[in-house]
C-alpha cells in the first residue's frame, strides 16, 4: 500500500439518481499536496466523489498557482488538515457527465474557480453572488473546506493540483476553445477578481483607472481595464516595472514614492484598484482619486491602512470598497469577455513535480514571476508510486 494514498473505507459511494439509489465508484485522483504546514509538496493520491446525476468528471490539463494556495497550505489563514491539495484555477476537459447534466458534453473545455458549491437558497446565491453565500457554511471553497463525505471523500475539499476533478455542472465555467491554453487558467481567480468589481462599480470607457500593485492581480487589472476602454495609470514604488506596465497596456507609470509625481496626478482617477496585500498607507492613493471616486481593495491589509481615519474620505465623498472574486454567472461573462478581447495572463509554465512547485512557491513569495505560474498537470503529473 502506497504511504501517500488517502484510502477511503470503501471505493463505492451511494448516489441518488431520480428516485433510485445506486452504488457508484469513487474517482481515483493523483495530485500534488502540501504534506504539512510547511507547505512542502508531495505526490499523493485521493478520491473524488462518485459521479452524481448533475456532476461532471474533469480531466485536469492546467492548474494555476495563486498566492491563496500558499497562504492556505502554510496555515497562515487558519489550521488545515493534511495532506492538502490546493489550486483553484483549474482548466480541463469533460471526461464524463452525470445522467442529468445538460450544460456540458464529453470532450468540451471546462474550468473551475474558487468555489464548487453554495447553499443556492440565500439572497446572495439568488442574485448570482455565490461567492458571498450567507447560507449555512457559506460557499464551498475549492480546497480546504470541511464538508460532508458525500461531497468530498475524507471530509475536506481538495483542489486542482490534480489529475481529476468532480464538480456540479452549475459551478463549472464553459471555456471557449481559443481559451483552452495554460495562460487562461489564472483568469478563474485573478481575472474575475478584477472583472467583478469593475462591473459592480460601473467602470466604463473614457474613465481613468489607477492600478496599485503590478503582480498577478494588477497585471490583469491593466489588461481588462484597457479592454474596457479606460486610461490606465500604474502606480509602482520603483521604475523597474515601467516597461512591463506599458507593454501590458498602461498609459503611464507613476512612481508612488515620488511626491512630486504623485502630486501631478492628484484627483485624476475615477477608480483605484488596490491589490497590495501588506500593511501600507492608502492616503497617497486616495489623493489621486477624483471627488466621489472609489478605491477597490482586493488585497488583505491589516489594520492601520487609514491613519487619517474616516476624515480621509468624508470631505470629498470618496468610497473604499472591498471585493472578493465573483459569482458563477459573472465568471462566465469574464471568460467570454477575455475571449472576445484575446486577454490571457502572462505566465510561466512549470512541470507538476513537488520540486518544481516548491520552487515556484518560493519565487511567488519573493515576487519573482511575471506574472503567474501555471502547472502543466496533464503532461507531467505522475502517481505517487510511479515517481
**CATH code at position 156:** 3.90.180.10
| 49 and 152, same domain (yes or no) | yes
| Residue 13 is assigned to a structural domain of this protein | no
Is the model's pTM score more than 0.75?
yes
| 115 and 201, same domain (yes or no) | no
What is the CATH classification number for the domain harbouring 247?
3.40.50.720
Tens-digit pLDDT profile for residues 35-51: 999 999 999 999 999 99
| 169 and 251, same domain (yes or no) | no
Alpha-carbon Rg of the chain, whole angstroms? 21
Q: Tell me how many domains the chain contains.
A: 2
For every one of its 387 residues, what pLDDT tens digit does the chain have, with 9 covering 90 and above?
454 655 565 565 655 555 554 547 999 999 999 999 999 999 999 999 999 999 999 999 999 999 999 999 999 999 999 999 999 999 999 999 999 999 999 999 999 999 999 999 999 999 999 999 999 999 999 999 999 999 999 999 999 999 999 999 999 999 999 999 999 999 999 999 999 999 999 999 999 999 999 999 999 999 999 999 999 999 999 899 999 999 999 999 999 999 999 999 999 999 999 999 888 889 999 999 999 999 999 987 766 667 778 888 999 999 999 999 999 999 999 999 999 999 999 999 999 999 999 999 999 999 999 999 999 999 999 988 765
| Residue 23 confidence (pLDDT) | 47
| 290 and 206, same domain (yes or no) | yes
Range of the domain at 168: 28-189+341-376
Amino acid at each position: 500500500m502506497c504511504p501517500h494514498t488517502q484510502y477511503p473505507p470503501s471505493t463505492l459511494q451511494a448516489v441518488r439518481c431520480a428516485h433510485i439509489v445506486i452504488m457508484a465508484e469513487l474517482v481515483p485522483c493523483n495530485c500534488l499536496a502540501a504534506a504539512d504546514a510547511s507547505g512542502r509538496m508531495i505526490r499523493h493520491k485521493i478520491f473524488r466523489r462518485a459521479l452524481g446525476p448533475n456532476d461532471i468528471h474533469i480531466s485536469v490539463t492546467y492548474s494555476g498557482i495563486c498566492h491563496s494556495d500558499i497562504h492556505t497550505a502554510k496555515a497562515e489563514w487558519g489550521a488545515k488538515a493534511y495532506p492538502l491539495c490546493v489550486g483553484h484555477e483549474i482548466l480541463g476537459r469533460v471526461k464524463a457527465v452525470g445522467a442529468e447534466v445538460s450544460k456540458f458534453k464529453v470532450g468540451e473545455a471546462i474550468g473551475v474557480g474558487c468555489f464548487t458549491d453554495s447553499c443556492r437558497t440565500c439572497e446572495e446565491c439568488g442574485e448570482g453572488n455565490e461567492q458571498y453565500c450567507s447560507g449555512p457554511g457559506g460557499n464551498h471553497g475549492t480546497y480546504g473546506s470541511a464538508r460532508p463525505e458525500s461531497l468530498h471523500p475524507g471530509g475536506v475539499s481538495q483542489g486542482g493540483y490534480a489529475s481529476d476533478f468532480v464538480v456540479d455542472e452549475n459551478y463549472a465555467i464553459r471555456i471557449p476553445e481559443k481559451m483552452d491554453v495554460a495562460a487562461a487558467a489564472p483568469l478563474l481567480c485573478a481575472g474575475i477578481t478584477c472583472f467583478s468589481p469593475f462591473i459592480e462599480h460601473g467602470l466604463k470607457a473614457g474613465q481613468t483607472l489607477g492600478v496599485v500593485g503590478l503582480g498577478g492581480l494588477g497585471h490583469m487589472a491593466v489588461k481588462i481595464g484597457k479592454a474596457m476602454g479606460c486610461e490606465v495609470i500604474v502606480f509602482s514604488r520603483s521604475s523597474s516595472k515601467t516597461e512591463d506596465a506599458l507593454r501590458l497596456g498602461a498609459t503611464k507609470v507613476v512612481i508612488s514614492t515620488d511626491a512630486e509625481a504623485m502630486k501631478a496626478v492628484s484627483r485624476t482617477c475615477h477608480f483605484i484598484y488596490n491589490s497590495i496585500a501588506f500593511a501600507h498607507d492608502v492616503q497617497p492613493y486616495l489623493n489621486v482619486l477624483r471627488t466621489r471616486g472609489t478605491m477597490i481593495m482586493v488585497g488583505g491589509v491589516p489594520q492601520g491602512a487609514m491613519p487619517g481615519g474616516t476624515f480621509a474620505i468624508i470631505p470629498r465623498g470618496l468610497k473604499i470598497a472591498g471585493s472578493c472574486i465573483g459569482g458563477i454567472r459573472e465568471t462566465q461573462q469574464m471568460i467570454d469577455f477575455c475571449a472576445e478581447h484575446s486577454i490571457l495572463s502572462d505566465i510561466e509554465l512549470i512541470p507538476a513535480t513537488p520540486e518544481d512547485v516548491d520552487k515556484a512557491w518560493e519565487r511567488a513569495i519573493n515576487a519573482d514571476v511575471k506574472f503567474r505560474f501555471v502547472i502543466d498537470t496533464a503532461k507531467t503529473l505522475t502517481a505517487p508510486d510511479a515517481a
